[in-house]
A and B are shown apart, each in its own frame.
Chain A
């Protein structure tokens, strides 16, 4: 075979030097990072003599050439392109950086929210039902039962920052209790409750203030009840700081220095910078919204209806009570904000409902269904954070439905006589406009549901079916561990668990899995399995012992969501399927899915080379040094 010719053809088809960022190879594949993958002619690449397959994954273009061939083609490729050899880690770093930031942020937001959904679904439904009952039967509000139930319903929302902070600390790999402290600082009873700010101002009271940064400026001593984004930002910073400190503070004093400094610095920055900056942004959004809804012919209402769910994401929506109260304070005035919010909420519920109806994924269905009901009653957080924002398409479909609905509502001149409830219970406050209100809800429901139903596709399942069978056979090199899971490789010290991170079970890597399938990382023998099915030990003929431990603390799941395909003593080939696990189930149980891949006898070796970044199954991730 003519290696030079093969390399030349590949070079031409990937768009020559201008389109190439870096090149590397592993045992079987040429791995390229291109500026623009769409300029690559994949069809023609597959026809090149010597190329066995082409696919692009994690921003990398991978060209399968086979062992023995790939290194020769690679050498020719370098000489033709004039590029220098990149390590596989370089290629992966270049590829990971290509994942757009908003995409990574939305993913982080989802990871934070999924484990806490049961709490807010319960609170949301209870709150919606209570609000409605009070409107039907006003005397209820005076009863002590109501007082108690109302406390239950708002507990999760009042202390939402604490729950969010704990979950965020887990996602970002910090100490969850320190995270909780940050959340507690933000809703400390010594701060004025954010929900009461409007009432305090109305009553003519001053908002208490405090001097910060040695009198440089003042901050409002108000809490962050109901907030999400500033909490996540603060905790992200906290985890960053904590991990840094763990590295630089000597071990002897680490236990008291690191937590102290972490809480002190993060807490102060949160109350003086992150929080106030965010509060200021909120203020501007609020002013902007009030200005927008003055635009006539339903246009303003449409815009407001579209952006409303985004303000829920940011946690600003509770501020709208101020706007509504002002509208009602004019004699004979109607609350015209309520129909906009109702339409937006109802549309998000409908989009979520469409997913629930169409999805074949049982777990997703069981999450989407109650979330959408809660949204119909006016509490949209479960639907938005649990379903719509994660899938993105339903969120946008809901925004479109909400916008049209709000425009219709505005043109029909709907107004409510109170504030605080939306969705189905809105009928009770929009009692002068029953028919118009019904039409508006129907419009936003139908548009949002239809769009979302057409556009929704169950993604992860399809991916699994596509990817699972097509692993090429590879020849294992001595001392190399190939990725058992598709995902993102991190250093073992970054695994959010002290035992793994400290290397007690050996050195290695962590993989944040994208797909719940574990493949054999080399040819070898299964040396141990557990009844809880979450961990596999495998040893290679040349004595390398490897532990694959899926998730952190998943022993407590007792095998639920895990399936093993091998038994102790089995001989396996690299790439053979060993186990499947349910990523969503692990997340729902509140554990990290980060999987430890550790060389348990790493003491026998001089050290390990690891390749961090995105990995597909059978990419080389660990090389031991004799």
Chain B
């Protein structure tokens, strides 16, 4: 299991567009990817659920990745967060 935390710096947070791109980035991996904000945890593959979390600028989220390709997945997803969010 891999895990990292990240504090969102994008001024508009994870709204529709970044959420869509994020889900697209996660899709190719086999591992289960979950994102947690406060008490709420959702599947990173579920666009609606992700948008529903309403992650805003300054929020800290925790991303958990578990599965056969968790190493590459974690690396790619963490990079995605740093580059885009």
Contact = CB atoms under 8 A, between A and B. Distances in A.
Interface of A: 499, 504-506, 527-532, 535, 537, 539, 545, 547, 549, 555-556, 568, 600-601
Contacts of A601: 47
Contacts of A568: 52
Nearest to A601: B47
Nearest to A529: B52
If over half of A's interface residues share one DSSP class (helix, strand or loop), that class is named, otherwise mixed; here it is: mixed
A18 to B, nearest CB: 49
B15 A499 contact: no
B47 A600 contact: yes
A527 B17 contact: no
B79 interface: no
B56 A537 contact: no
A87 to B, nearest CB: 30
The 7 closest A-B pairs by CB, nearest first: A528-B52, A505-B20, A537-B48, A527-B48, A504-B20, A555-B15, A600-B47
A547 B56 contact: no
B1 interface: no
24 contacts: A499-B20, A499-B21, A504-B20, A505-B16, A505-B17, A505-B47, A506-B20, A506-B47, A527-B48, A528-B49, A528-B51, A529-B52, A530-B54, A531-B54, A531-B56, A532-B12, A532-B15, A535-B15, A539-B48, A547-B48, A547-B51, A556-B12, A568-B52, A601-B47
Contacts of A556: 12
Contacts of A545: 47-48
A504 B48 contact: no
A396 B49 CA distance: 53
Nearest to A497: B17
Contacts of A504: 17, 20-21, 24
Contacts of B54: 530-531
B48 A528 contact: yes
Contacts of B12: 532, 555-556
Nearest to B56: A531
A529 B12 CA distance: 15
Contacts of B17: 499, 504-505, 555
Contacts of B24: 504
A549 B52 contact: no
Nearest to B47: A600
Contacts of B20: 499, 504-506, 600
Nearest to B15: A555
A47 to B, nearest CB: 46
Interface in B14-71: 15-17, 19-21, 24, 47-49, 51-52, 54, 56
Nearest to A558: B12
Contacts of B19: 505
B52 A547 contact: no
A51 B71 CA distance: 64
A555 B54 CA distance: 12
A548 to B, nearest CB: 10
Contacts of A537: 47-48, 51-52
Contacts of A499: 17, 20-21
A518 to B, nearest CB: 15
B71 to A, nearest CB: 25
A600 B52 CA distance: 14
Nearest to B20: A505
B54 to A, nearest CB: 6
Contacts of A527: 48-49, 52
A600 B48 contact: yes
A432 B19 CA distance: 70
A134 B44 CA distance: 65
A570 to B, nearest CB: 12
Nearest to B50: A528
Contacts of B48: 527-528, 537, 539, 545, 547, 600
A222 to B, nearest CB: 43
A596 to B, nearest CB: 8
A530 B15 contact: yes
Given A499-B20, A527-B49, A547-B47, 16 more contacts: A505-B17, A506-B20, A527-B52, A528-B48, A528-B51, A529-B52, A530-B51, A531-B56, A535-B15, A537-B48, A545-B48, A549-B16, A555-B15, A555-B16, A555-B17, A568-B52
B22 to A, nearest CB: 10
A568 B49 CA distance: 10
A544 to B, nearest CB: 11
A547 B16 contact: yes
A545 B16 CA distance: 14
A506 B52 CA distance: 17
Q: Which of B12, B21, B48, B56 has the most CB of A within 10 A?
A: B48
Contacts of A539: 48
Q: Which of B16, B49, B54, B56 has the most CB of A within 10 A?
A: B16
Contacts of A600: 20, 47-48
Nearest to A504: B20
Nearest to A568: B52
Contacts of A528: 48-49, 51-52
A460 B65 CA distance: 51
A531 B56 CA distance: 9
A499 B12 CA distance: 16
A317 to B, nearest CB: 43
A597 to B, nearest CB: 12
Contacts of B21: 499, 504
Nearest to A505: B20
Nearest to B53: A528
A308 to B, nearest CB: 46
A601 B19 CA distance: 14
Given A504-B21, A505-B47, A535 B52 contact: no
A499 B20 CA distance: 8
Contacts of B49: 527-528
A505 B15 CA distance: 11
Nearest to A539: B48
A281 to B, nearest CB: 43
A567 to B, nearest CB: 11
A546 to B, nearest CB: 9
Contacts of B56: 531
B25 to A, nearest CB: 10
